[in-house]
Structure 1
Amino acid sequence: MTLRVGLFGTGPWATRAHAPALAAHPGVELAGVWGRRPEAAEQLAREFGGRAYGDADALIGDVDAVAIALPPDLQAPLAAKAARAGRHLLLDKPLAATVEDAREVVAAVEGAGVRSVVFFTMRFDAGTSAWIERQAAAGQWFTGRADWYGAVFGGDTGPYADSPWRREKGGLWDVGPHALSVLLPVLGDATEVHAARGGGDLVHLTLRHASGASSTSVLTLTSPPPGAGVAIEFRGAPGIATFPDGVSGPATDALARAIDALAGGEPHACDARFGLRVTEILAAAERALDA
């Protein structure tokens, strides 16, 4: 059965990942595109199929599922509306900009009985998800770290440098979900959340986990480009597990696996409820920073 999907969003992530992945997926018909810039929606529809919609509600009414590539403060209310209309959800991280909005999405999903997948890239990439699963199976970890040094605002001239929501929310909310998507399945849920500021938007996040292990994360979008990168490591009874270079594939391949998960009918670990838990931890870290 072909899943008719409507794409919401026309920015760089929608253009580079969502639209090509949806258009190429054999089980999907990209039925339409809606965006805040009608001319961009027209261009995406011409390039990848479907038609441009001027009204978001009309697109929700014409599809089986929605894929949302919008800032979190816009994604959450749109996702809740689509879920209440009986549409399955392919969402991006973070799920929402506030815990209240994230809870509204979960309530809508559970109330309507629709499926949801939140696209945490590393959890859907074939190589990285397999590595995470091996560390989770090994267990007995004493501590872990997951550091994301992004250069979006540190001199990088990439496509996300003009992102207002990233400028406002910083690395904690943009790359923090990536770190949590690795730490939580391996070390367990966070039972304590602490945070301290560094330079720019840099945040040092420290967690205590249900397993008894602790973890740290350095999260920023303002790293100087020569210092940018990702470092993930676990230490414990199994030894030292360091995330290997070269195992991650293109984002479109990972997104195709997320589409598979949405279409497959079985609940996925990265659903709206997991997205809510990540939002709760980010909000707790923000409160710790304010205190």
Structure 2
Amino acid sequence: MKFGLLGTGPWAGSTHGPALAAHKGVELTGVWGRRPEAARELAGQLDTRAYDDVDALLADCDAVAVALPPDVQAPLAVRAAAAGCHLLLDKPVATTPRGAQQVTDAVAAAGVASVVFFTLRFSGSTAAWIDEQARTGGWLTGRADWLSPVFGGADSPYAASPWREEKGALWDVGPHALSVLLPVLGDVTGLEEVRAARGPGDTVHLTLRHVGGASSTATLSHSVPPAAAGVTAEVRGAAGVAELPHRDEPAADAFAAAVDALAEAARTGTPHPCDVRFAQRVTQILARAESALP
């Protein structure tokens, strides 16, 4: 599968690019970025070509991987789908319901495959845990907490990200929390039941009710100090307590699994559970939470 990479930032350089370049089923056709000099630098590192014209890259590809801010990603995803490219997108797919809907509509109209990279859904240990708890069922409560020090004193390359500074942890790591809770507990009963409250810094607390009757909470933050950082999730029910295992594989390995998932969806025509429709629902929930914040 011939892939184009859209984006040149830290995530593209550390995860998307290396995973695509190393994947035996991928020909990395080229790189495009909003800063041509950065595209040339990353293309050199990945031993591929830098494109100045994004449409020229789309014309040369079977698929694109996008590592750009969500509201830059969404219109480019629409453009790529219209060019006949399968889509490997990042979360969140967009930060407005309208933007997410436009991507979903474009994928349906073009008949292309889509996968959205929710890291925990493609990392071996965490993906297996999510699938196992979904099969077990009978859960009454759940929680998913993603506490990071991006703005809390860590030396993080993502601290300079304008969209993360603007939208905060709700939009950056909220999708990760929902990618654990929704497959296990089910969809939310209705957007009107999504509740949100602010905490210190950009911390947000969510409460959700799910269609099977379970309830859940999520605490999301980029503002904790490094010593307080961590990712935890658990569900409780008739089967007892199940705790999310620690993700110990590199993100690039999980991304390679997402590449495999896109190739399979393109080959079979069977939608992947983490396609743009799932990502659209995540955007709807987070937009509702954002609007509920005081």
Class of the TM-score when normalised by the shorter of the 2 chains? over 0.9
Alpha-carbon RMSD across the aligned residues, in angstroms, is 0.9
> Counterpart of 1:150?
148
Q: Which runs of 4+ in 1 moved over 6 A?
A: none
Residue identity in the other structure for 1:169:
K
| Residue identity in the other structure for 2:286 | L
The structural deviation recorded for 1:36 is: 1.3
Alignment partner of 1:248 is 2:252: no
Partner of residue 275, structure 1? 279
- Are residue 25 (structure 1) and residue 29 (structure 2) matched? no
Establish whether residue 284 from structure 1 lines up as the match of residue 288 from structure 2.
Answer: yes
Contact kept in structure 2, 1:60 and 1:82, CA below 8 Å: yes
Instruction: Using the aligned pairs only, state the percent identity.
Output: 65
1:241 Cα offset (Å): 0.8
- Structure 2: any 5+ residue segments left out of the alignment? none
Tell me the secondary structure at the aligned position of residue 102 of structure 1.
helix
* Alignment-mate amino acid for residue 239 of structure 1: G
* Partner secondary structure for residue 32 of structure 1: strand
In structure 2, the residue matched to 1:79 is 77
Determine if contact 1:128/1:248 at 8 Å carries over to the other structure: no
Residues 224-248 of structure 1, C-alpha deviations (whole Å, 9 max, x = no match): 1110001111111000111233x43
Report if aligned partners of 1:66, 1:82 keep a CA contact under 8 Å in 2. Answer: yes
Contact 1:63/1:87 (CA < 8 Å) preserved in 2? yes
User: Which residue is equivalent to 1:221?
Assistant: 222
2:125/2:245 contact within 8 Å kept: no
Q: State the match for 1:129 in structure 2.
A: 127
Q: AA paired with 2:68?
A: L
CA–CA distance in 1 between the matches of 2:244 and 2:122? 16
CA distance in 2 between counterparts of 1:88 and 1:206 reads 34
**Paired residue secondary structure (2:37):** helix
* Separation in structure 1 between the aligned mates of residue 170 and residue 72 of structure 2, nearest angstrom: 18
Q: SS where residue 190 of structure 1 aligns?
A: coil
Name the stretch that deviates more: 120-129 or 47-56.
47-56
Q: Deviations over 1:47-87 (max 9, x none)?
A: 11221011111111111111100000100000011101111
Alignment of 1:114 onto 2:112: yes
User: Is the CA contact (8 Å cut-off) linking 2:86 and 2:114 kept in structure 1?
Assistant: yes
SS of the residue 2:241 aligns to: strand
More displaced stretch, 166-175 vs 45-54? 45-54
Kindly provide the amino acid, as one letter, of the partner of residue 293 in structure 2: L
Q: Which residue of 1 aligns with 2:40?
A: 42
Q: For the Cα contact (< 8 Å) 1:120–1:181, is it kept in 2?
A: yes
Q: Deviations over 1:244-277 (max 9, x none)?
A: 33x4311111000100011113321000000100
Secondary structure of residue in 2 paired with 1:161: helix
If the length of structure 2 is used for normalisation, what is the TM-score? 0.96
Q: Unaligned regions of 5+ residues in structure 1, if any?
A: none
SS at match of 2:223: coil
Instruction: Tell whether the 8 Å contact from 1:90 to 1:118 is kept in structure 2 after alignment.
Output: yes
| Residue 210 of structure 2 corresponds to residue 212 of structure 1 | no
Q: Secondary structure at the match of 2:152?
A: coil
- Work out whether residues 146 and 218 of structure 1, in 8 Å CA contact, stay in contact via their aligned partners in 2: yes
User: In 2, Cα distance between the equivalents of 1:130 and 1:248?
Assistant: 13
